[in-house]
Amino acid sequence: MKSIKCIKYLVIVSIWFSTVCAQVPSESQKFLSETLSQTNLGKEELLSKYTSFDYSILWTKKNNILGFIGDNYQRLYVKYLAIIRNVENPSKYYVCGKSRVKSNVCQFLGEIELIHIRRIHDSEKQQLYKEAKRQNDEEAIKRFSKQEYILLAEYHFFEDPNQKGTGIFEGILRTNFFIDNNEIFYNDLEIESDSFFNNQCVGTWTSYLSNSSKRCNWGEFRIPYSGDLDIGAGEFSPNTKYLDKGWSIYNKAFIQNDTNAQKEEELVWW
Task: Give the pLDDT of residue 23.
Answer: 57
Task: Give the pLDDT of residue 47.
Answer: 97
Buried b (16+ CB within 10 A) or exposed e, 108-120: bbbbbebbbbbbb
Architecture of domain 2-118+153-232: Beta Barrel (2.40)
* Cβ count within 10 A of residue 82: 19
Task: Give the pLDDT of residue 259.
Answer: 97
Mean pLDDT, consecutive 10-residue stretches, the chain (270 aa), reads 51 49 75 95 96 95 88 97 96 98 97 97 60 62 78 98 96 96 92 91 97 97 97 94 98 96 96
Residue spans per domain, the chain: 2-118+153-232
Task: Give the pLDDT of residue 234.
Answer: 86
Does the pTM surpass 0.85? The reply is yes
Task: Give the pLDDT of residue 21.
Answer: 46
Task: Give the pLDDT of residue 19.
Answer: 47
